Amino acid sequence: MKIKNYVIPLILSLLFLMPLNIYSHNTASEISSTFTRISENATPSVVFIKAQNLNDESLDNYENPFNFFSDEFFRHFFGHPKRDIPSQPKISGGSGFIVSSDGYILTNYHVIKDASEITVIMNNKEEYKAKIIGSDSRTDLAIIKIDNKNLPYLNFGNSDDLKVGEWVMAIGNPFALRSTVTVGVVSAKGRQNLRIADLEDFIQTDAAINPGNSGGPLLNLKGEVVGVNTAIVSRSGGYMGIGFAIPSNMTKNVVDQIIQNGAVKRGYVGILLQEVDQDIAEAFNLKKSKGILISEVAKDSPAEKGGLKQGDIILEYNNNLVKDINSFRNEIALLKPNTIVDFKILRKGEYNNIKIKLGVYPNQEPVSQQSSKLGIEVTDVKDIPLSALDKWNIPKNANGVIITSVKRGSLAERGGLKMGMLIVQADHKDIKSVEDFTKILKNMEKKKHLLFLIKYHNVTRFISIKLS
């Protein structure tokens, strides 16, 4: 009997594939066992956080420029909940994880922002009241603490060692479904300019992340924390395959400082920078575009005192090549004040080395004690999402500060101030930044009225707030 032509190749193919199938089965089984082990070890350290704001000071025209669920592109994990009865407290949920045996818990700042009461629910369903130890809005991180000891906790890994395509696991509480485990890969590293936080160096992952995962850990296959899940890209409000996590190497610095000091202090140079494109390179007689250009040096700053000048091109710092402005800014911000940084610069065609002793980064939080008394929060125009600026008809290069929150029943609300208003002047003085606004408000208790010049939907007018 003749063997048909296709039979022999088929038999040979099957014989060739048999070892591969066995190998693939064993590999898949090992990976599955690894996921199971990590989940069993890490889940007891991941907590569900309920944040309640009894006073509900957020703006309540039911819109919020930082609520990315209502935006078409970027969204934070949970947004501004709708309420049938305005006087009810706002309750929001998120995730966190224990970082020490004595009860310190890491989460996102936006999870506990403005919270008057925080409840932590453990994996075993035990509940604890928590207090805020400190927060850092620039990285969207916060530390809270519960009164307990001998708790299971997670260790940090080295996020710099992560490779694109590497397996990672996310654990959190999406839609209040506690201890949910999802698996994916590292899709990209070093994501910036997303307008999610001030300092951005995000890990991108396709591990399924949904509302409520915010503040939960992103783990490598060693069970180490390599990121803190923070935001997603979604058109529906749910998982679409793109999530972002704050890398552990940025996180560790913030955690250590908050636990030790209750706040974060960052290194400060005092320079404004711009990229060196091909046109700038040719103007400075450079063969190729490299480094970053100093466009301005702040008066009395460490840069001015150390000898940096406008027009200098920074090529290296501490023997590290300058990649771009964002990376430079992030890495300098991770250094502590008083650190000595050796800058290699190009000045008028000559190379120089200049040592700068870093100062303390100025506090630029959007809320001051005075603005809180007035009943508003204001933010610099550059820190507002473009979608919100378009909605309010505000140019992205406008001078002034934008009202992002108005407390109900406050002096500001009674006087007619609203979210989305651009404050151009206060007390007859021009406003260019939150710092300008805060300085003017320092003397407001001595006044009976405070006069604002505002722009709102292309209309400019004066508003007088009665302070008594």
- Which H or E run includes 246? strand 243-247
* Tokens (6 digits) for 17: 């594939």
Provide CB contacts within 8 A for 77, sequence distance 6+: 94, 108, 209, 210, 211, 212, 213, 214, 229, 230, 231, 232
Q: Which residue has the higher pLDDT, 455 or 59?
A: 455
Asked whether the beta carbons of 35 and 183 are under 8 A apart, the reply is yes
pLDDT in tens, 382-400: 777 777 788 888 888 888 9
**Tens digits of per-residue pLDDT, 274-325?**
888 888 888 887 878 888 999 888 888 899 999 999 989 999 999 989 888 8
Which segments of the chain belong to CATH 2.30.42.10? 267-360, 369-466
pLDDT of residue 86: 46
**What pLDDT, in 10s, does the model give residues 296-309?**
888 888 999 999 99
Summarize the confidence of residues 366-371 as an average pLDDT. 45
- Quote the pLDDT of residue 100: 94
Residue 108 has pLDDT above 60, yes or no: yes
C-alpha distances out from residue 18 to 6, 11, 22, 30, 267, Å: 19, 11, 6, 19, 59
pLDDT at position 444 is: 66
Give the tens place of pLDDT for each residue, 8-44: 555 555 555 555 555 566 677 777 888 889 889 999 9
- In the prediction, which pLDDT does 46 show? 94
pLDDT band at 56 (very low <50, low <70, confident <90, very high): very low
Which range has the worst mean pLDDT, 20-29, 120-129, 402-411? Answer: 20-29
Task: Tell me the pLDDT tens digit for each residue of 371-381.
Answer: 556 778 888 88
List active site positions.
110, 140, 214
In the prediction, which pLDDT does 4 show?
55
Bigger pLDDT: 237 vs 447: 447
Both tokens of 107, joined, read 């989460």
How confident is the model over 330-347, as a mean pLDDT?
A: 89
The whole-number average pLDDT for the span 242-248 is 89
Residue 45: is its pLDDT beyond 50?
A: yes
In whole angstroms, how far apart are CA 393 and each of 59, 390, 397, 425? 19, 5, 12, 18
CATH number of the domain located at residue range(s) 369-466 in this protein: 2.30.42.10
CA distance 220 to 27: 17
* CB-based contact 194:210 (threshold 8 Å): no
Of residues 207, 346, 336, the one with CA closest to residue 266: 336
Nearest Cα neighbor of 348 from 389, 296, 309 is 309
Instruction: Provide φ and ψ at 154, rounded to 5°.
Output: -105, 145
Mean pLDDT of 194-208: 78
> Average pLDDT in the 339-344 region?
94
Q: How confident is the model at residue 76 (pLDDT cuts 50, 70, 90)?
A: very low
C-alpha closest to that of 416 among 376, 379, 380, 371? 376
pLDDT tier for residue 236 given thresholds of 50, 70 and 90 = low
Question: How sure is the predictor about 421, in pLDDT bands with cuts at 50, 70 and 90?
Answer: very high
Short-list 82, 233, 96, CA closest to 151: 96
End-to-end CA distance of the chain: 108
Q: What is the pLDDT of residue 16?
A: 55
* Residue 262, both tokens: 């209750």
Please answer whether residues 400 and 455 qualify as being in contact, where contact means their C-beta atoms are separated by less than 8 angstroms: yes
Residue 268 confidence (pLDDT): 87
Domain 267-360 has CATH 3.40.50.2300: no
Q: Which of 443 and 12 is assigned the larger pLDDT?
A: 443
CA distance 429 to 419: 21
More confident site: 228 or 175: 228
Structurally, at CATH architecture level, domain 1-264 sits in Beta Barrel (2.40)
Burial (0-12, 13-18, 19+ Cβ within 10 Å), 202: buried
127 near 120, Cβ under 8 Å? yes
Mean pLDDT of 224-236: 80
Question: What average pLDDT does this structure show over 107-135?
Answer: 88
